[in-house]
Structure 1
Amino acid sequence: MSDASADVVVVGAGMVGAACAYYATRAGLSVIVVERAGVAGGTTGAGEGNILVSDKPPGPELTLAQRSVQLWRELGDMLGRQQIELEPKGGLVVTASPPEQAGLAALAVRQRAAGVDVVDVAADELAGYEPHLARDLAGGAFYPQDMQVQPMLAAARLLRASGARVSTATTVTGLRRDPGDRIRAVVTDRGLIHTPAVVNAAGVWSGNLAELAGVRLPVLPRRGFILVTEALPALVRHKVYAAGYVANVGRDSADLEISPVVEGTPAGTILIGSSRERVGFDATMSLPALRQLAAGAVRLFPVLATASTIRAYRGFRPYTPDHLPVIGADRRVPGLYHACGHEGAGIGLAPVTGHSIAGLLTGQAPDLDLRPFAPERFDAHV
């Protein structure tokens, strides 16, 4: 790629970067997307495609998720729901004991007050939602707004729909600034891109990109595994997960944590998660983690005990110390914008992130309060 220019350079061609490119071009801006690997080659390509409100307590991230669900519906209509495998299947959260059920019911009350659609499900009603569920569960809650998408398809099709120029296998090596410290160009190993605005959508490498601009952004990797079964008859109707999943998302422990998550795909395979551990960028496959994932799935769906797995894969969630994403303009570097740190919610929150960034790029007042996601919020903790 020889020297080029654009109104905006988006660094990262995952789901978040694709959404930023799409909404920026819709706002009339010229966009170049730069990606060190391939489209959806990072966290996006290693995820389940979750679009969830169920796993978020009332607060700023839930507000983002509610808006993003609306935007996903619009994107589904535009891209074609079947083409991106967007399934409004709903999510079923289940509990193993009466105390756990009481805790889930209390969370549901708070979520309803925040506008989430939640249906309490008694133990004897679970089979109506999932006929193959274990019979000794204490109950659950059903979230009709939860959805699932095929993230690689969605990212690729959204990038194509954006009309942005995409440069894959391209590494950003520097960010040039003018005497007033404003961004003026992106330096890559394939040439220079003149631009007044850079969007950092580099996923787990977002902290590295921020360093090129001389600022600190504590976005770190959190490893997770997924098991994939052989194609099976339709056994799982919804996204089903144990209530402990919500707690594990917000924990700060570096140790391996497992909470069963089971859902089907249009191809008939079943995806089994979820694990979390902080091991840096260690990409080693962990047999103990995979065994625990399988055991957790069988605990929820005993019928899976005889199913074969055909593969396992792993990825790295980009997390921040307070488990909130980083979305907004960086006041420390004029012209630098961040859209990263979503941990396991990047697919679900991608549209609202891209829409918000596009608004900032064009000088519009945000329609959501972005202050909880400000890039500078970590400076006090240095």
Structure 2
Amino acid sequence: MHVVVVGAGVIGAACAEALSAAGATVTVVDRSGPAAGTTGAGEGNVLVSDKEPGPELELAQASRRQLPELLARLADELGAEQADVEWQPKGGLVVATTDSGPLHDFAARQRAAGVLAEEITPERAFELEPNLTREITGAVLYPEDGQVQPVLLATTLLTAVRQRGGRLLSGVTATGVTKNALVTDSGTIPCDHVVNACGPWAGDFATRAGAPIPVLPRRGLILVTTPVADLVRHKVYDADYVGAVASGEADLQTSTVVESTPAGTVLIGSSRQRVGFDDTIQVDVLRELARKAIRLFPLLAKVNVMRAYGGFRPYLPDHLPVIGPDPRVPGLWHATGHEGAGIGLAVATGRLLAELMTGKEPHVDPKPFRVDRQGLAA
């Protein structure tokens, strides 16, 4: 079986890896190169803390369980250095600076769904994060939250695909699908299946393939500080982040997210805004992100910003990704619409798609992610 995956971001890479591990011959096509789009503009979040109980949380829990196992297998296959994706199972800390009731209610619903969510006192939060503002009114510790370097994760997955005999074609634009082939600007690639893993551009490719889906870009910006020692130890965010993630509003929304990297830099987010593919870096948005971050970590006021960057998340109106075959075009499959959760959902997404394509028993229920779910494929 020959499968062509369109898109070399983390979702496409995870699908390609899972398919090649299942014995398929895989070609990955990308108009730019590995992790050149949404993946390269992400923070690397692997989260269960920000998801309401339901299908997305179940996919996130499965992915979180599988990621360390997959990395261990890739280390055996590729070597430890080649498979190093800066995986940090450091945990997440969600804090409230106003009424903490909604935060604790949300945590209780998550615990009922099997998430480790430990309600802690502000004093305990200060022990975990000594530089945290003393204005917090409540906190929940999520030990399962983690972080990877997203570009390294995508490229490591693609390295495994290539080592197993697969191909990566960079600078090749997919323009359509015909029976048993992908059409590109460099010619036709015969194949049995095509996987649409184009992220925010998946809607455009799906339309060209004859099976439109309503994927829209949702813009986000991130600030990066100069290296600073031991300022932030966990992924820390304000409780309003959950509401911003779940919101469908087009207007600008910002919520405080602060975390460090192995290099010592601090990443500050997050913003969400539907502005099409306008990639302008908006200074007013950066100011808002900085202001809110300083409120959580006052010492950040003395730290210099090194750079800012942004990207587009693949947004679907019902906030669930599409994973699986498209009944309108035989041989066409989708793996897109993960919005800002793609890094954390990638491993389970790739495995689920490979299971469906090869006829194996799915490890999570695929029905909520079908492209023909009510109202989506219109």
TM-score by structure 2 length? 0.95
Q: Contact conserved, 2:270 with 2:289, CA < 8 A, in 1? A: yes
Which position in structure 2 is the counterpart of 1:12? 7
Q: Contact conserved, 2:256 with 2:270, CA < 8 A, in 1? A: yes
| 1:264 is the counterpart of 2:260 | yes
The structural deviation recorded for 1:380 is 6.5
The structural deviation recorded for 1:379 is 4.3
Within 2, Cα distance between the matches of 1:198 and 1:378?
23
Name whichever of 68-77 and 139-148 sits farther off.
68-77
Q: 1:293 aligns with which of 289, 310, 317?
A: 289
Amino acid at match of 1:92: L
Within 2, Cα distance between the matches of 1:76 and 1:130?
28
Q: 1:251 aligns with which of 247, 250, 255?
A: 247
Within 2, Cα distance between the matches of 1:171 and 1:285?
26
- Mark the runs of 5 or more structure 1 residues left unpaired by the alignment: 1-5, 178-183
Within 1, Cα distance between the matches of 2:376 and 2:256?
36
Amino acid at match of 1:169: G
Which position in structure 1 is the counterpart of 2:122? 123
Amino acid at match of 1:196: D
Which runs of structure 2 are paired with 1:20-39 in the superposition (5 Å)? 20-39=15-34
Which position in structure 2 is the counterpart of 1:191? 187
Q: 1:313 aligns with which of 309, 313, 333?
A: 309
Question: Residues 49-76 of structure 1: CA distance to partner in whole angstroms, max 9, x if unpaired?
Answer: 0000000011010000000001111123
Which position in structure 1 is the counterpart of 2:318? 322
Which position in structure 1 is the counterpart of 2:147? 148
Amino acid at match of 1:24: L
Name whichever of 332-341 and 237-246 sits farther off.
332-341
Amino acid at match of 1:166: L
Amino acid at match of 1:84: V
Name whichever of 210-219 and 255-264 sits farther off.
210-219
Count of aligned residue pairs for this structure pair: 369
TM-score by structure 1 length? 0.94
The structural deviation recorded for 1:125 is 1.7
Within 1, Cα distance between the matches of 2:374 and 2:158?
31
| 1:302 is the counterpart of 2:298 | yes
Name whichever of 266-275 and 359-368 sits farther off.
359-368
Within 2, Cα distance between the matches of 1:362 and 1:131?
50
Which position in structure 1 is the counterpart of 2:332? 336
Q: 1:354 aligns with which of 350, 357, 377?
A: 350
CA change 1:114–1:232 in 2 (3 A) is same
Question: Residues 158-214 of structure 1: CA distance to partner in whole angstroms, max 9, x if unpaired?
Answer: 10012220000100112112xxxxxx1011111211011011100011111111221
Which position in structure 2 is the counterpart of 1:86? 87
CA change 1:380–1:150 in 2 (3 A) is closer
Q: Contact conserved, 1:91 with 1:146, CA < 8 A, in 2? A: yes
The structural deviation recorded for 1:104 is 1.0
Within 2, Cα distance between the matches of 1:118 and 1:209?
39
Within 2, Cα distance between the matches of 1:72 and 1:288?
37
Which position in structure 2 is the counterpart of 1:165? 167
Which position in structure 2 is the counterpart of 1:181? none
Question: Residues 247-303 of structure 1: CA distance to partner in whole angstroms, max 9, x if unpaired?
Answer: 001112111111000000000000000000010000011001000010111000001
Within 2, Cα distance between the matches of 1:43 and 1:251?
20
Name whichever of 229-238 and 359-368 sits farther off.
359-368
Amino acid at match of 1:198: V
| 1:241 is the counterpart of 2:232 | no
SS of residue matched to 1:158: helix
Amino acid at match of 1:333: V
Q: Contact conserved, 1:89 with 1:146, CA < 8 A, in 2? A: yes
The structural deviation recorded for 1:341 is 0.3
Which runs of structure 2 are paired with 1:366-377 in the superposition (5 Å)? 366-377=362-373
Within 1, Cα distance between the matches of 2:376 and 2:182?
28
The structural deviation recorded for 1:121 is 1.4
Within 1, Cα distance between the matches of 2:44 and 2:339?
13
Within 1, Cα distance between the matches of 2:173 and 2:143?
41
SS of residue matched to 1:22: helix
Name whichever of 58-67 and 118-127 sits farther off.
118-127
Which position in structure 1 is the counterpart of 2:209? 213
CA change 1:380–1:32 in 2 (3 A) is closer
SS of residue matched to 1:221: strand
Q: CA RMSD in A?
A: 1.3
Q: Contact conserved, 1:327 with 1:357, CA < 8 A, in 2? A: yes
Question: Residues 316-358 of structure 1: CA distance to partner in whole angstroms, max 9, x if unpaired?
Answer: 0000001111111112222111100000000000000000111
Identical counterparts, % of pairs: 55
Q: Contact conserved, 1:133 with 1:300, CA < 8 A, in 2? A: yes
The structural deviation recorded for 1:378 is 5.2
Amino acid at match of 1:106: D
Within 2, Cα distance between the matches of 1:126 and 1:113?
23
The structural deviation recorded for 1:128 is 1.1
Structure 1 outlier segments of 4+, above 6 Å: none
CA change 1:351–1:381 in 2 (3 A) is closer
Which position in structure 1 is the counterpart of 2:50? 55
